[in-house]
Amino acid sequence: MRLTKIVGMVLLAGISIGSLTSCNSDAKEKKDGKGAKTTDSTEQVTEEEVNLRTPVDTAKYNELVKANANGDTTGKWPVKNHPIPLDGAILPFKRIVCYYGNLYSKKMGALGEYEPKTMLSMLDKEVAKWEKADPTTPVQPALHYIAVVAAGDPGKDGKYRNRMPFKHIDSVLAISKMRKNMIVFLDIQVALSTIQAELPLLEKYLMMPNVHLGIDPEFSMKGGVLPGRKIGTYDASEINYVSGYLADLVKKHNLPPKVFVVHRFTKKMVTNSQNIKLRPEVQVVMHMDGWGEPDLKLGTYRHFIYGEPVQFTGFKLFYKNDLKKAPNRLMTPEELVKLKPRPIYIQYQ
């Protein structure tokens, strides 16, 4: 499939824009964010704060990473010279399978569209499909919650984003406890704000060992362009700021490594990807976030995920948008485990 077609047909997710404009969390921001502890990712870690964790079994890790490359012979995969993660690392020992969404909207994903018991039952069925498709890789179930959402109205500070109330994040954490060992991702759409302004406000959650992070370049707007008018972008320097911030938390609080998901479906969404820094404390997933028919999704994965190796890869499936064009079906786990490399993070919306 020609690259120009891929770029022209990938997702510009207007679902997020406007679906939450009636939700005004500004009144809660000060109250909810007041107690959030902040850190500087460049701050030096003292001797007493050095992480006490040791690296995982290097031989086993390298074996699994090689297997996950799925026979790729180009030299791109597995990624060379990547650091061995600290113990407690999820990837590549498990494959993460998660539901995405927001509690204010039934249009942004299964998490929010269905009541919790129904939603978890649906996720259980997807987990079972992946366990059957790849019995060699245990599945780690997860919820991926959009904690900062790009909006259609400017808000009081003109940043065109809504910060979700902490009580909603607490609700998602409570839902996750309905399944044993389920983890949670918090996702950030900065709009006209910055990742440096938004990330510290979630620190009290990111200090929890079961909470991980996603960022969405699509809604990281530059030059005052409003979200939804064009596709946004993050540079490697901004991604490195986030991974450095997470690494500091891991060191200071003796946490297992954080999984850090970066959504992507065009080349310009992530610039200078070759400069993304890898760290033992953070596991970076470049996540194929486009919707459409199977050929289109595979082309997007090939050009922007496979073609620019970072560390691990992800793949998103849309229950509704992927059905809009022939052959009007979702791709299956059996199809996806044939990819090079195999996606180790799977998200359903």
Residues 161/18, Cβ–Cβ less than 8 Å: no
**Which tokens hold the place of 236?**
């490697």
| pLDDT for the residue numbered 56 | 95
Window from 26-40, 162-176, 207-221, 322-336 with minimum mean pLDDT: 26-40
Q: How confident is the model at residue 27 (pLDDT cuts 50, 70, 90)?
A: very low
Residue bearing the bigger pLDDT, 38 or 342:
342
* Strand pairing report for 139-150 and 161-163: antiparallel
Q: What is the mean pLDDT of residues 237-260?
A: 98
263-275 as b/e, with b when 16 or more CB fall inside 10 Å?
bbbbbebbeebee
Distance between first and last Cα of the chain: 24
Q: How confident is the model at residue 37 (pLDDT cuts 50, 70, 90)?
A: very low
| pLDDT for the residue numbered 22 | 35
Q: What is the mean pLDDT of residues 196-202?
A: 98
| pLDDT for the residue numbered 25 | 41
Whether this model's pTM surpasses 0.85? yes
The residues, ordered by sequence, that sit 6+ positions from 75 with a Cβ below 8 Å of its Cβ are: none
Task: Give how far Cα 319 sits from Cα of 121, 202, 236, 326, 340, Å.
Answer: 15, 29, 31, 14, 24
Q: Which of 346, 77, 22 is nearest to 185 (CA)?
A: 346
| pLDDT for the residue numbered 179 | 96
* 3-state SS string for 37-99: CCCCCCCCCCHHHCCCCCECCHHHHHHHHHHHCCCCCCCCCCCCCCCCCECCCCCCCCEEEEE
Residue bearing the bigger pLDDT, 17 or 335:
335
| pLDDT for the residue numbered 50 | 57
**Which tokens hold the place of 14?**
């207007």
Q: How does the average pLDDT of the chain come out, rounded?
A: 88
Q: How confident is the model at residue 201 (pLDDT cuts 50, 70, 90)?
A: very high
Tally Cβ neighbours within 10 Å of residue 122.
16
Q: How confident is the model at residue 51 (pLDDT cuts 50, 70, 90)?
A: low
Looking at the domain that runs over 3-20+73-348, which CATH code has it been given? 3.20.20
Q: How many Å is the Cα radius of gyration of the chain? A: 19
